[in-house]
Amino acid sequence: MHIRFMVLAAAAVAAVAVAGCDEKLSDLTGPTPSLQPTFSSIQHEIFDTTDPSGRLACINCHTNAGGRIPPAGLNLASGASYTSLVGASSTEKPGLMRVNPGDPENSYIIHKLEGRAGIIGVRMPRGNGPFLTEGQMLVIKRWIELGAKND
Amino acid sequence: MKPTRLLILLFSVVALALPQIAAAQNNRAASSDDDPDRDINLSQPDFTLVALPTTLRVPRFRSAFRVTHRFTRPLGQGDFGDLAGDLFGIDSGAAIGLEYRFGLMRGLQVGIHRTNDRTIELFTHYSLLQQGTKGPVGLDGIASIEGTNNMGLSGPDSTHSYTPVLGVAVSRELGKYGAVYVEPMWVNNSNPLPSEIADDNDTFMTGIGLRLRVRPSVYVVGEYTPRAGYKPGVNQGSFAIEKRLGGHVFQMNFSNGFGTTLGQVARGGTSNDDWYLGFNISRKFY
């Protein structure tokens, strides 16, 4: 009986020891390994920073710095981006919000970043890529799914 | 030649080159030597149903081998002429698995199962209770861990994912006419995505299964695995007909998915509208 308990315990311990196995988010997000599904992280890693793959920072164009008028009225500069995005109607497709909290599939920013059929204008970032990777898109979608909080 | 095909060939040669073992098993039939685990169990002739485990014990220092094969062409695709033209899916690609299990001590078995999507599953079963001797049911404790991409052995840069499983298999033998099974299991990290971007990372599933002996050496088998937690696709289900022949069991099966490891079963089948032809061949080396 002792042997049974020992074997069972060893198996359970071995399984529990490896339980909690999880993939690293950084393995998924490629050129932005620090990217997290939070607004502050997306602001820093996606909007503000050109990543090592060559994907351009959004604020190269979408900013009002220096008196510029942001394309499509979308200002992604820090401090202005959240209100420009979350719950705001798209100027290109007024029937859709740019970010519809909890609903990435009906958020126009996702359509534009993935270059879906039906978008007005071109896929973002402008210039035929590099575009956001699948992993980066999963993180942005997750942030929207979680309610698109200003966190 | 691809490594998986080479392995299949090697194992097939070994299996076919040992007919004396099958003969010995036939001669022994129901008579036991000193280890009753070596007797043929008419109600549980094999270590698995289709994908789910049974509570059949591997005798101490003996072993068994199994090939799993699932053709990837849905049987409902096209009309009957298309299906016949593809020889019922045999012309298509396949999800293939090779498995070896070994009895370390009485009631304790360990094994390895490798599928051609580069998943390696290491498993162990411990027989906690045997029907008839100490209880009304058979009960096995089951622990396994599987890793994608050869468990990361392909190189330091290879991305891989580990999925540990803890569970039990409960069996109730129906005389010599088969057995029914209930197998609750917890599958950790069944979701291949990081938990930061996933709603559920684990699956709790309860496999239910039935094997019925309809002829002296012919069985029909069915299994279904409802899930909770992370449950993409549909719950995997299978049914099969099989023939025991000496130390071999030849099974032809139909499944709505390709899963043959517990983690793969947790990730579900493809669709309830798509069923796939497959087979299992197992061989006991005792």
Question: Is residue A20 within 8 angstroms of chain B, CB to CB?
Answer: yes
Cα–Cα distance measured from residue A99 to residue A110, given in angstroms and rounded to the nearest whole number: 8
Average pLDDT of chain A is 87
Q: Are B270 and B234 in contact (CB under 8 A)?
A: yes
Select from A4, A7, A23, A24 the residue whose CB has the most chain B CBs within 10 Å, as the one to mutate to test that interface. A23
* A contacts of B161 (beta carbons < 8 Å): 21, 23
Indicate whether A19 pLDDT > 80: no
Q: Are B280 and B98 in contact (CB under 8 A)?
A: no
Cα–Cα distance measured from residue B81 to residue B70, given in angstroms and rounded to the nearest whole number: 21
In terms of residue numbers, what domain contains A118? 28-145
pLDDT grade for B71, boundaries at 50, 70 and 90: very high
pLDDT grade for B61, boundaries at 50, 70 and 90: very high
pTM of the model: 0.79
**pLDDT given at position B10:** 43
Least trusted range by pLDDT, from A44-48, A84-88, B149-153: B149-153
Structure-token pair, residue B200: 């559920």
Cα–Cα distance measured from residue B95 to residue B264, given in angstroms and rounded to the nearest whole number: 12
Among the partner residues A11, A12, A21, nearest to B162 by beta-carbon distance: A21
Q: Tell me whether residue A18 is in a domain.
A: no
The residue written with tokens 């970010």 in the block is A99
Structure-token pair, residue B19: 């007919």
How many Å lie between the alpha carbon of A71 and the closest alpha carbon of chain B? 30
Q: Are A144 and A103 in contact (CB under 8 A)?
A: yes
Which tens digits make up the pLDDT trace of B42-54? 999 999 999 999 9
**pLDDT given at position B156:** 66
pLDDT grade for A12, boundaries at 50, 70 and 90: low
Cα–Cα distance measured from residue A70 to residue A100, given in angstroms and rounded to the nearest whole number: 21
Q: Tell me whether residue A22 is in a domain.
A: no
| Top-confidence residue, B118 or A9 | B118
How many Å lie between the alpha carbon of A135 and the closest alpha carbon of chain B? 10
**pLDDT given at position B90:** 82
Q: Please give the class, per CATH, of domain B3-285.
A: mainly beta
Mean pLDDT computed over A53-75? 91
How many Å lie between the alpha carbon of A67 and the closest alpha carbon of chain B? 37
Which tens digits make up the pLDDT trace of A118-145? 899 999 998 888 999 999 999 999 999 9
Number of domains in chain A: 1
pLDDT grade for B9, boundaries at 50, 70 and 90: very low
Among the partner residues A11, A18, A23, nearest to B192 by beta-carbon distance: A23
Q: Tell me whether residue A130 is in a domain.
A: yes
Q: Give this complex's ipTM.
A: 0.73
